[in-house]
């Protein structure tokens, strides 16, 4: 972001659905880059439930209710054919 001259003081969220992945990110040996960015508040790693991931509507077989919830929360328009 610095190269694009975008200087924000707020950390960027990095959402992860796997708690063991979040814990492993805290290991500076295996994930030094991510760990360094967390230490200086460039990014903030947080958990997100599988059900709240909007990308699932494109990559998973969802029930109609879950699909509509995902679609509506993404502000995608209903296609008219």
Q: Which stretches of the chain score pLDDT less than 50?
A: none
Q: Residue 61's pLDDT is what? A: 86
Q: Is 56 helix (H, G, I), strand (E, B) or coil?
A: helix
Q: Residue 28's pLDDT is what? A: 74
User: Please, which residues have CB within 8 angstroms of residue 48's CB and are 6 or more apart in sequence?
Assistant: 15, 16, 17
C-alpha span between 7 and 59 (Å, rounded): 33
For residue 15, the cross-strand partners are 46
Q: Is 13 helix (H, G, I), strand (E, B) or coil?
A: strand
What digits encode the pLDDT tens for the residues 5-18?
A: 766 677 888 888 88
Residue 55, classified by CB atoms within 10 Å of its CB into exposed (0-12), middle (13-18) or buried (19+), is exposed
**Domain residue ranges of the chain, discontinuous segments joined by +:** 1-48, 50-81
Q: Residue 19's pLDDT is what? A: 87
Q: Residue 71's pLDDT is what? A: 80
Q: Residue 10's pLDDT is what? A: 77
């Amino acid at each position: 972001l610095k190269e694009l001259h975008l200087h924000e003081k707020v950390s960027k969220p990095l959402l992860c659905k796997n708690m063991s992945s979040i814990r492993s990110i805290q290991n500076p040996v295996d994930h030094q880059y991510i760990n360094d960015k967390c230490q200086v508040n460039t990014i903030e790693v947080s958990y997100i439930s599988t059900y709240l991931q909007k990308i699932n509507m494109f990559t998973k077989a969802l029930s109609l209710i879950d699909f509509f919830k995902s679609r509506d929360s993404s502000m995608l328009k209903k296609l008219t054919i």
